[in-house]
Structure 1
Amino acid sequence: MTTTAARTTNSVGGRGLSSYAVALLLPIGPAAVAVLRYALPYYTVDDSTAMANKVIAATGRMSLVLWLGFIAVLTLVPAAYAVSRVTRQRAPRMTLVAMLLLVPGYLALGWLIAEDQLMFAGAKAGLDAGAITRLIDHLHPSGAVAGVFFVLGHVVGTILLGIALWRTRVVARWAAVAVIASQPIHFFAAVIVPNHTIDLIGWGLQAVGFAAVGWAILQRPDTDV
């Protein structure tokens, strides 16, 4: 009887509160990065001097980028884990490989944001572009390693997680395709033909796909994730 009462207290409409929390959480990280990539004052392919000059000219936008990055670091790993919970039963191996790539990749994002923090702090402190550039060029080599982890982890890992969604059919086909396509679009817009609007679309597709997973979780007959 106590167990029944606890379930009633911690549920809404017969469904566990954690299911609603997860459904709400899922799109936040990708959506934050989508806006971050759109607001970023520089391009990923810019050299250090160009980055420094652009950050100095747009410290307000850079502040927004840092806040969004903070949100992304807090939410991306839990979101990926939540998606893995709904795919691992029918696609265990692919889900495992995807998570082995995504978790370290997303965690490495926090290390990469340190460079943006440095540029923002330098600009706010009144340093010129030359001084900020010298700081960027002398960052610890672990930052370059973190970059490799992030790029491989989030691009390949997201594709694999999207394929797992396709195979398990826990969401509509279009949602799985949105997740699969999101990071190749991002990579194209970040590295090959730099374009912040296309980058927004890429990460936005992942946010939409993850939101669809959240909706699917809420349709499950069980009361919890």
Structure 2
Amino acid sequence: MSTTRSDAAADTHKPTRDVRGFWRILLAVIAPLPMLANGIYYLFSPTNGGVPFEEDLAAATTHGDRIALLEWIQVPFVSLMIPATFAVVWVARRGAPRLTTAGALIALTGFCAGFGNLPGTVSSARITVEEGLDPATVSKLTTALNEHLITQLSGLLFILGVTFGLLLLGLALWRSRVAPAWMGIALAVGGFTHPFLRDHVIAGIGLLIAAVGFAGASYALLRTRNEDFDLPAR
């Protein structure tokens, strides 16, 4: 019996390596890190959020080393918040598809706009002190940037992402029953209340509560079989 060309090709084809476990565990590790980092940042920040540049400048003069360290601590928040959000979306999407879709659209739109257009992790006040820049000039520049329409719209979208986006995703995590209900509630409460907590210590505690909620995605991912996580490679 002769062997066809297609049969010969099939016999020599090497099986595709299955990397579903790698992606599943990677998402599980990433999920709580951004909010954990941001919570630590707020807990140890020498000022409250949204204070005038002059107050930031005074803090940078007194606590320059601490602010420099906090800049590095906040890097995981800016770098990993979007994949962490995807982790929640991935585990909740089957049990609560509508809530998950709505929360993902609001949260991811806000985070993409915020991280793309808002000021980064490096403190302009600390750079002013460290490089001996003119405080009045930097203050005017900071004010002009903050009052620009792109910045203001991005800031609004970012706040909506943190509040309503994470609120809906927390409820979706709760409704999907892939993690303990209290973890979904922690995500919903920690994200929604953050903009209203003006004291930096209380705001930091709220973000750590949100990190516990994101850990609910880690819990679900670590308990999920690769077969349920995604389709196998072809």
What is the TM-score normalised by the length of structure 1?
0.84
Aligned equivalent of 1:149, options 143, 157, 174: 157
**Matched residue, 1:123:** 129
Distance apart, 1:89 and its partner CA: 1.9
Structure 2, gaps ≥5 residues long: 1-12
CA spacing shift, 1:55–1:104, aligned 2, 3 Å: farther
Match of 1:138 in 2: 144
1:165 maps to 2:169: no
The one-letter code of the counterpart of 1:180 is: A
Distance 1:61 1:30 in 2: 19
2:15 corresponds to 1:3: yes
C-alpha separation between the residues in 1 aligned to 2:65 and 2:115?
21
Instruction: Provide the C-alpha distance between the structure 1 equivalents of 2:57 and 2:155, rounded to a whole number of angstroms.
Output: 19
Cα distance in 1, alignment partners of residues 145 and 127 from structure 2: 14
Cα deviation 1:160-209 (Å, max 9, x = unaligned)? 000111111111011111111102332232xxxx2222112111111112
Runs of 4 or more, structure 1, over 4 Å off, are none
Identity over aligned residues, as a percent?
28
**1:188 lines up with 2:193 in the alignment:** no
Contact 1:69–1:113, Cα closer than 8 Å, also in 2: no
Judge conservation of contact 1:38–1:196 (CA < 8 Å) in 2. Answer: yes
Q: CA deviation at 1:115?
A: 7.9
Cα RMSD, aligned residues only: 2.3
Secondary structure of residue in 1 paired with 2:226: coil
Compare 22-31 and 113-122 and name the one that shifted more.
113-122
Report the number of matched residues: 214
In 2, distance between residues paired with 1:171 and 1:33? 23
User: For 1:11-160, what aligned pairs fall within 5 Å after superposition?
Assistant: 16-107=21-112, 108-109=114-115, 111-114=117-120, 116-127=122-133, 129-139=135-145, 141=148, 142-160=150-168
8 Å CA contact 1:52–1:132 kept in 2: the answer is no
Structure ID, larger Rg: 2
The 3-state SS of whatever aligns with 2:179 is coil
Q: Structure 1 residues 115, 44: closer, same or farther in 2, change over 3 A?
A: same
CA distance in structure 2 between the aligned counterparts of 1:67 and 1:143, rounded to whole angstroms: 23
